[in-house]
Chains A and B, each alone.
Chain A
């Protein structure tokens, strides 16, 4: 039988042993929460609170202005201390609401609606609950979930893929969630099935999580439509296009979306959050974050409120070791290096990775020796060597001809490069230059 995977890819060390057997712990409620008003891809939201307002946990802080937009909510109860531009973990600065905890009891969302039958709810109610909960994809890209779940009528969706691949080294948040919240995830999947009428549901999980595969298989056995697919361990198996190809041999067209080939992909974390939003009307105010890496004293999986500063979670995990010198939002392959540890957890933060000096050291670049490794492993079948040399000479048009805009920025090329060329760095630069040029013309 042919292996279910995609062509190309790399096998970095996994480092998952640091946290894969650690139960998700609840992180303490922060004294101060920083809530960026933009935590999704799409139109910005409009702030609806003012400085000095008292807000309660779960209360919306902003409202969506357009369809592709979701509100943010107060993750803690307290006073709005200020609304100002603060560092955002995506490496930008963004308008954020600063809330000071007033020590009062938290509103509880649990158990007030647990025997709900989703078939009693009509689709619009479900979609509204998902949208009002501020749901955005929790795998990292943070695309508004209700948009994905309401495909235009001309797109026929027959497959739902649930992404439990978690191919980024170090990260175990999805893995733990699948083990500890299996039933809830399955319920979340049923909510999506209610919205989409798909023929089949495939839960994709990499083979390095045999316990999660087994458990998911056990819990979904009685549903004919749902199956669990164990995938070879290879990065970036969790990339949307790579997962669709591995599971269904369908190829998302260049510049297209999964719905163009009849698929919707949702992360397991999102499935869980959808369950909470629809059953309990609970907004997205907390998520599982893997706090790990060689620079952390006690790596853990934590359930943290959105808006909790990285610093607090790092302290909760025993603090830094002395040689710690790089803090990332996300995993080592696609994570974004932070200039400060005072940035908050946002909806797309699946991990906080702290690297020590030996990993943080940026290798010296040598000249390309055309070894072709980047071309061999590129999961999008691009030629990173050629594109980057065009970008270095500011020949952006040529780089675009070589497929620059198809790059998914997985970083495999830079990982594999024996000359240690910062290939993805150039590619990101090229994309920025392309946008600049397009804006000018």
Chain B
């Protein structure tokens, strides 16, 4: 009889990398399906092109670099999917194609493939597209089904709630520089926005494909938390930090007049906090490191949203914190049991 030998342990858990990837993909399906419903088939095409382009890039890179082809471990599919979820539904179809190529090639494969990328590949792709074609990336030309006119967000402008919020907040903070009618209108707009929770939860507002329904993202995230695919530390510290800081600083009438709930429900915060910041490869591994990572993402997001040049700051803050991850891991090394 031939006996196998190997080092212990001789039992292994059932969870594998592909299982993790496909669980995340599965949990993203409801939000995607909803987005196809409200934006129409265009959203579906964008998702398909991004996923296929990511897979094709993965295959080409791995073949040229003579690495084992790992097309079906799910990681390229997930990167493509997340990139698509970060695009407005109105972009031309070559945008997801180029974005997915950049994500996989520059974001991941040139560093050595899965596990070696310093930053989230999907966000690298998005950042590249934002820098190269800002008009395509910020104009939301495709209008959601059942969209109600809200605070001037209507089929004419197609802006996102956060963009309107930023504009109106600027007016109210510098109210002396504006006409009284403008100030009144801005006050009215902000008042409406601050009560638009229902629209934010269900997504009949402008926004990227994946971020329109906070509710469905939350349901998918609960599935992942329940299955322990992702942990609670990064999302909780991230969203908590944003809620606290925007409540304190987000208002126009001084400290503690902001609306934290509006901020955590709008834009890509849920998508970012549950799906991008928790990307295992690019986030810290220690308990304290993950808490600080989430807090850092939250602080940067709020700085960008309230005082920065963009209405939305989730993707840049995660990318910046990705770069701090090795440092966080180093300084938050756990104390050895008994040490």
Contacts and interface: CB of A to CB of B under 8 A. Distances in A.
Interface in B4-56: 4-13, 15-17, 19-20
Interface string A286-329: 00000000000000000000000000000000001000111110
B113 interface: yes
Given A334-B8, A370-B281, A406-B339, A415 B13 contact: yes
Interface stretch (A24-32, A158-166, A355-363): A355-363
A381 B3 contact: no
A369 interface: yes
Given A367-B115, A367-B116, A369-B281, A383 B11 contact: no
Given A379-B337, A381-B335, A337 B6 contact: yes
A403 interface: yes
Interface string B262-290: 00000000000000000011111111001
Contacts of B339: 253-254, 381, 403, 406
A32 B334 CA distance: 51
A338 interface: yes
B333 interface: yes
B1 A367 contact: no
Nearest to A401: B333
A340 B3 CA distance: 7
B338 interface: yes
A418 B11 contact: no
A362 B280 CA distance: 25
A341 B8 CA distance: 17
Contact of A415 (B11, B17, B284, B338): B11
Contacts of B285: 370-372, 375, 383, 385-386
Which size bracket describes the interface of A in this complex?
A: 35 or more
B13 A411 contact: no
A401 to B, nearest CB: 10
Nearest to B290: A372
B2 interface: yes
Contacts, number: 166
A79 to B, nearest CB: 30
A244 to B, nearest CB: 10
Contacts of B13: 10, 12, 415-418
A23 interface: no
A338 B113 CA distance: 37
Contacts of A332: 8-11
B165 to A, nearest CB: 35
B9 A333 contact: yes
Contacts of B284: 372
Contact of A339 (B3, B20, B286, B336): B3
B11 A325 contact: no
Nearest to A418: B15
B10 A337 contact: yes
A415 B12 contact: yes
A414 B12 contact: yes
Contacts of B173: none
A353 B3 CA distance: 13
A408 B283 CA distance: 27
Contact of A326 (B10, B16, B113, B336): B10
Given A363-B12, A376-B287, A415-B11, 12 more contacts: A10-B13, A169-B11, A241-B337, A327-B3, A337-B3, A367-B115, A383-B333, A402-B333, A415-B13, A417-B13, A418-B19, A422-B7
Interface of B: 1-13, 15-17, 19-20, 70, 73, 112-116, 231, 280-287, 290, 329, 333-339
Interface of A: 6-7, 10, 12-13, 169, 241, 245, 251-254, 256, 320, 324-328, 332-341, 353, 355, 359-363, 366-372, 375-376, 379-383, 385-386, 402-403, 406, 409, 411-412, 414-420, 422, 424-425, 428
